[in-house]
Structure formats: C-alpha cells, structure tokens
Amino acid sequence: LDGTPHRVVLIVKDYEDRADSATSVARALINQERIDALIGPQFSRHAIPVAVVAENARIPMVSPLSSSPATTEGKEFVFRLAFLDAVQGAVMGRFAVEELEASRAAVLSLVKRRAISSRNATRTRLRAGCSMRALPTRTSMPCTFLPSASFGSGFRKRCAWS
C-alpha cells in the first residue's frame, strides 16, 4: 500500500458448496482467524448469505463470480467483480443476434428467482432479432444459452456457453 510491501497470509477454507457451511466458515474466519478481508465465495447462492455476515462484521468482501444484485445491494463492505445478471443476459442476446446472426435460439435457465433477470434480459434482446423459446430447466447453471446460428458459408453450427 502506498508503495510499501505488506505480508499477506492466505487462509483457504472449503465450504462444501453449501450456503449454511459458507456462512459458518465466514464467521469462523472473521471471529477466530481475525481476517482483514474476505475473497469469495464465488457464486451468488453462497455469496449472498456470506455478504450479510461480512457486512455485519464490517469486513471487506469481494465475490469474483457473483452476479446477483442481492450480493451487494445496500452493502458498504461487499463487492462483486462480475457484471449483473441483467447485463450478462443482454450481452448474450445481442451477441447471438448481431454477431452470430442467430435466427432461432433457446434460453435454458433455472426456475428460480435468481435466474429471472438474466433470462428476461436475454429474452428481450433476442426478441428484437430472432425467434426463440424459453425452456425452464433444473440444472446447476444459472443460465445456459444455445443459439442455432447461421455462418457465412451457409452451414449451421450449434454453439453452447454458460
């Protein structure tokens, strides 16, 4: 900081892909290990409850992949690196229409509240440029987008990303 090197001790803990475990681990790191900052959890489903713990303890927290506005909403000490779901959805839709020139697309997403903003933003952007179907699914990924895109040589390619 300010040109002065500082030693940082890295403490890594597993939270078993469970929100209750993530909050317990965060409390232990804050209260027993006396951490100064928290990096993670990665995903919104864990970051949202841990953010409450970090905020109450006034410990800065950065979630690298959480895209839910609920992670940082109303919080002074909690930050996200990922774009919000609605922004990601709009970008995916625009990419499919403008770059891939998709004529048909399907949006697969969770039937849960946290997937709605991404799904709606993708759907809105796609409606402007191609036909589409929304298919609710119960997978572990918040949003998977499968465009059927037409490329210059006339052959069709199936793409998938999440």
Q: What is the pLDDT of residue 102?
A: 79
Q: What is the pLDDT of residue 86?
A: 78
Strand duo 131-137 + 143-150: pairing: unpaired
Q: What average pLDDT does the segment 16-44 reach?
A: 94
Structure tokens at 27: 């409390």
Distance CA 149, CA 60 (A): 43
The pLDDT confidence band at residue 13, using thresholds 50, 70 and 90, is: very high
Q: What average pLDDT does the segment 23-35 reach?
A: 96
Q: What is the pLDDT of residue 135?
A: 41
- Edge-first strand order for the sheet with 131-137 is 131-137, 102-110, 143-150, 156-158
Is 6 or 138 the better-scoring residue by pLDDT? 6
Residues 6+ apart with CB under 8 A from 4: none
pTM of the model: 0.65
Query: Which residues does residue 61 pair with via DSSP β-bridges, in sequence order?
Result: 38, 78
Distance CA 38, CA 52 (A): 12
The runs of H, that is alpha helices, within the chain are 19-31, 44-57, 85-94, 116-127
| Model confidence at 155: pLDDT above 80 | no
